Amino acid sequence: MARADQPAAAPGRGTDHSRAERMRRRRRIRTLEKLAAPVLGLVLLGIWELCVRVFDVSTFILPPPSAILLRLVSDWQLFLGQGVTTAIEISVGFAMAVLAGVIIALCIFYSRIVEVAVYPLLIALQTVPKVALAPLVVLYFGYGWGPKIFLAFLISFFAILVPTVVGLKELNPGFANLAKSMGASERQVFFKIRLPAALPNIFGGLKVGLTLSVIGAVIGEYVAAERGLGYLQLQANANFDTTLNFASVFAIALLGLAFYAILRLIEDLAMGKMR
Amino acid sequence: MTSELTRDQAGPTGVSVRLGAVVKEFETETGELIRALDGLSLDVAAGEFIAIVGPSGCGKSTLLNILAGLDRASTGLVEIGGAPARGPHPEAGVVFQSDYLLPWRSVLDNVLLPIEIKGLDRKAHVPAAEQLLADVGLAGFGAKKPSELSGGMRQRAGICRAIIQKPGLLLMDEPFGALDALTREQMIIDLQALWLRLGNTVIFITHGIDEAVFLADRVIVLSPRPGRIDLDLKVDMARPRQWAEAHADPEFQRCIGEVRRCFERRGVLHRAQG
C-alpha cells in the first residue's frame, strides 16, 4: 500500500527518541488511571475513619473502618464458616437460575407456542418484587437450605432469562441464512453463530443475576436462618454489636466480589473458546 | 485483485442453472397472497455471467434465495447442474449486500467458515484462504477483525469466503450496493478478473444498469412485481472489458439504452419533462 498520507518527519517530532518518550508517558498515564479508583476508595475510608475519631462517634452508631477490618481479621474463622454457608446458597441458587434461564430462553426462541404462551407470563411475573415472596418461601420451604437457595434462584432467574432471549432474537437473520446457504444444520448455526453472537448479552444477564443471587441468599437468611452472613448480621443486631454487623456487610461484599471475579474469568474463557 | 486472466485449470468449470416456470407466492399478515415471481423461465449455461436487474420489490432477491436453497419455489422447476435443487447446493457460494462477517472471528476464520461447516480439515485450507485474501488485496489482513476493515475490504473478504471452495455457481445479491462509487467501480473490475480466472457461473443481482451491462454476458431485466422476464439481452463485448473504454463502446451504449427503454415502458424510469 502506498503511504502518501504519511507526514514527513518533522524535526523534533516524529523522531524515534520523542516517540519512545511519548509512549512512556502514555503508559504512565494509563497506570495512574488504573490506580484512581482504589486511591479514591482509600481516601473515602480515610475520611470515614477521621470523622469517627474527630467527632468521637460511638462505635455502636458507626464503628471506624479500622475496627471493622480488625474484626474481620480477628474473627476470620467465624466469617469463613458463615461465609461458606452463604456461598453455597448463592452458588446453588445461581447455578439453577443459569440452567433454567438459558434452557427456557432457548425454548422461547425455538418454539412459537412457548413464546406466545409462556414468555408474556414470565415478563409479567418479573414485575413481582421477589423479595416480597421471602416470607411465603419460608412457609413452603421451611428453615433449611430451601428458602435461601430458592430466593437466590428466583431473583436471578429473570435477570438471566430476558437478556438471553433478547440476545438470541437480536441476531440479524442474514447471518443464519448465510450459514444455511453453506449447508449448515440448525445445530451448527446455533453453536457457530447464534450462541457466540448472544454471549455478550448472556454474560450481561449473568453478571446482574449473580449480584441479585447474593441479595436473594442474604434476604433468605434474614427471614429464617441459623447460619450464614445474613444470620450473623441479625445476631450482631440483637447484641448491639455494630462492628460485627458492618464486618458482615464487608464479608458479604467480598463474597460478591469473589463470585464476580470468577464469572469474569469464565466469561473470558467462553468468549475465547466459543467465538 | 491481480488481473491474471488465465483460467485456473485446477478450478471447476461452472454449473448450469435452469429455471422452468418458477412461481413464488407469499402470504401476507392479512392472508393476502402476493405473487413475487410469475412463471420465470431461464437457462444459464455453465460458466456464464448473468446479471439480473429490476426495480425494488420485483422479486430479485426472492429468486436468489430460491437459487441459494434458502427458499422454495411455490411451483416450477429449479435445476442446478442438471439436477433438481433441494436446499442449499454444495456447488453454490453466496454473497449478500451486507458482508455478514462474524465480528468475533478474524478475517481468516471468516473465510474458513464454510470449511468448518462442511466438517473439512481447517488447517489444510488455511494456505488457500490466505492466497485468496492476497488475491483480493487483503494480504496480511487475515488476523484482523472485520471491524478493522473498510466496507470494500469487508465485502472482498465476504467474496473470498464464498469462493473458498471454488463453487461452480456464485450467487451475488447486490454485492456492491452498499459501497461508495469509487470502491464499487474497483470491485466491479476485480470481480470480472476473478470470474475470468475461476470460470464459474455467476448470477449477479443488481440495481445498477451500468454494472450489469459491464459485467454480464447476458442481462436479464425483470418487470415490477410480479417478477417476469421483460428482456433477455446478450452483451456482445470482448473480455476483459475496460471500465472507461467500455462506456464509450457503441455496444455498451446500445445495451444500456435497451435496458433503460425497458424500464421506461414499465414506468420504472421516466424521461425528463420539457
pLDDT in tens, B220-232: 999 888 888 989 9
Please check the confidence at residue B1 and state whether its pLDDT lies above 60. Answer: no
User: Do A153 and A267 belong to one domain?
Assistant: yes
Q: Which residue has the cell 475519631?
A: A53
- Specify which residues A118 forms β-bridges with: none
Number of structural domains (chain A) is 2
- The domain boundary residue, chosen from B144, B166, B188: B166
- Give residue-wise pLDDT tens across range B91-142: 899 999 899 999 999 999 999 999 999 889 889 999 999 998 998 888 889 9
User: Do A161 and A33 belong to one domain?
Assistant: no
Mean pLDDT of chain B: 88
Let me know the angle formed at the C-alpha of B75 by B69 and B80, rounded to the nearest 5 degrees. 40
Is the residue at A232 inside a domain? yes
CA nearest neighbour of B214 among B181, B179, B182, B252: B252
User: Do B236 and B184 belong to one domain?
Assistant: yes
Please check the confidence at residue B8 and state whether its pLDDT lies above 50. Answer: no
Mean pLDDT of chain A: 89
Show the domain range for A51: 17-56
Please check the confidence at residue B26 and state whether its pLDDT lies above 80. Answer: yes
Outline where DSSP puts E strands in chain B. 17-27, 33-44, 49-53, 75-80, 83-84, 92-95, 169-173, 201-206, 218-222, 229-234
Number of structural domains (chain B) is 2
Q: For residue A174, list chain B residues with Cβ-Cβ distance below 8 A.
A: 96, 98, 100
Mark yes or no for CB contact B117/A174 under 8 Å: no
User: Do B250 and B149 belong to one domain?
Assistant: no
Task: Say what the pLDDT of residue A176 is.
Answer: 92
| Rounded Cα distance, A97 and A213, in Å | 9
Is-contact A256 A229, C-beta < 8 A?
no
Flag the least confident range among A17-21, A86-90, A187-191, B198-202.
Answer: A17-21
Mean pLDDT of A66-81: 92
Please check the confidence at residue A89 and state whether its pLDDT lies above 70. Answer: yes
- The fraction of chain A above a pLDDT of 70, given in percent, is 93
Instruction: Name the minimum distance, in Å, from the CA of B117 to any CA of chain A.
Output: 6
Handedness of CA A38, A43, A47, A50 (dihedral sign): positive
Mark yes or no for CB contact A192/B113 under 8 Å: yes
Task: Say what the pLDDT of residue B59 is.
Answer: 84
Task: Say what the pLDDT of residue A274 is.
Answer: 67
- Specify which residues B42 forms β-bridges with: B19
Is the residue at A167 inside a domain? yes
User: Do B176 and B272 belong to one domain?
Assistant: yes
User: Do A225 and A174 belong to one domain?
Assistant: yes
User: Do A128 and A177 belong to one domain?
Assistant: yes
Write a three-state SS string for chain A.
Answer: CCCCCCCCCCCCCCCHHHHHHHHHHHHHHHHHHHHHHHHHHHHHHHHHHHHHHHCCCCCCCCCCHHHHHHHHHHCHHHHHHHHHHHHHHHHHHHHHHHHHHHHHHHHHHHCHHHHHHCHHHHHHHHCCCHHHHHHHHHHHHCCCHHHHHHHHHHHHHHHHHHHHHHHHHHCCHHHHHHHHHCCCCHHHHHHHHHHHHHHHHHHHHHHHHHHHHHHHHHHHHHHCCCCCHHHHHHHHHHCCCHHHHHHHHHHHHHHHHHHHHHHHHHHHHHHHHHC
Nearest to A183 among B88, B98, B102 (CB): B88
Q: What are phi and psi of B223, to 5 degrees?
A: -80, 165
Please check the confidence at residue A213 and state whether its pLDDT lies above 90. Answer: yes
| Rounded Cα distance, B116 and A196, in Å | 15
> Which letter does DSSP use for residue B94 in this model?
E
Q: What is the CATH number of the domain that holds A261?
A: 1.10.3720.10
Show the domain range for B37: 1-91+169-274
User: Do B55 and B103 belong to one domain?
Assistant: no
Residue B6 pLDDT level (bands cut at 50, 70, 90): very low
Q: What is the CATH number of the domain that holds B197?
A: 3.40.50.300
User: Do A44 and A145 belong to one domain?
Assistant: no
Residue B166 pLDDT level (bands cut at 50, 70, 90): confident
- The domain boundary residue, chosen from B166, B181, B216: B166
User: Do B1 and B54 belong to one domain?
Assistant: yes
Please check the confidence at residue A6 and state whether its pLDDT lies above 70. Answer: no
Lookup: cell for B220: 436479464
DSSP, residue by residue, B191-216: HHHHHHHH--EEEEEES-HHHHHHH-
Is the residue at A226 inside a domain? yes
Task: Say what the pLDDT of residue A79 is.
Answer: 93
Q: Does B92 reach chain A within 8 Å, measured CB to CB?
A: yes
Please check the confidence at residue A245 and state whether its pLDDT lies above 70. Answer: yes
Q: How many CB atoms lie within 10 A of CB B258?
A: 17
Mark yes or no for CB contact A192/B117 under 8 Å: yes
Nearest to A180 among B70, B113, B116 (CB): B70
Please check the confidence at residue B5 and state whether its pLDDT lies above 60. Answer: no
> Which letter does DSSP use for residue B241 in this model?
P
Task: Say what the pLDDT of residue B154 is.
Answer: 93
User: Do B189 and B175 belong to one domain?
Assistant: yes
User: Do B187 and B123 belong to one domain?
Assistant: no
User: Do A109 and A178 belong to one domain?
Assistant: yes
Residue A18 pLDDT level (bands cut at 50, 70, 90): confident
Q: How many CB atoms lie within 10 A of CB A274?
A: 14
Is cis: bond before B240, omega within 30 of 0? yes
Mark yes or no for CB contact B118/A182 under 8 Å: yes
Nearest to A182 among B88, B96, B98 (CB): B88
Please, what is the angle between helix A134-141 and helix A195-223, to 10°?
80
- Give residue-wise pLDDT tens across range B203-254: 999 989 999 999 999 999 998 888 889 899 999 999 899 998 999 999 999 9
Is the residue at A189 inside a domain? yes
User: Do A183 and A235 belong to one domain?
Assistant: yes
Lookup: cell for A144: 433449611
User: Do B87 and B176 belong to one domain?
Assistant: yes
Let me know the angle formed at the C-alpha of B176 by B175 and B182, rounded to the nearest 5 degrees. 160
Is the residue at A113 inside a domain? yes
| Rounded Cα distance, A151 and A213, in Å | 8
User: Do A239 and A128 belong to one domain?
Assistant: yes
- Give residue-wise pLDDT tens across range A121-133: 998 888 888 888 8
Task: Say what the pLDDT of residue A236 is.
Answer: 92
Interface confidence, given as ipTM, is: 0.84
Chain A contacts in chain B segment 58-87 (CB below 8 A) = 65, 68-70, 87
Is the residue at A223 inside a domain? yes
User: Do A32 and A110 belong to one domain?
Assistant: no
User: Do B86 and B202 belong to one domain?
Assistant: yes
User: Do A39 and A120 belong to one domain?
Assistant: no
Task: Say what the pLDDT of residue A127 is.
Answer: 86
- The domain boundary residue, chosen from B166, B191, B214: B166
Q: A176: nearest CA in chain B?
A: B100
Q: What are phi and psi of B219, to 5 degrees?
A: -105, 125
User: Do A86 and A48 belong to one domain?
Assistant: no
Task: Say what the pLDDT of residue A188 is.
Answer: 93
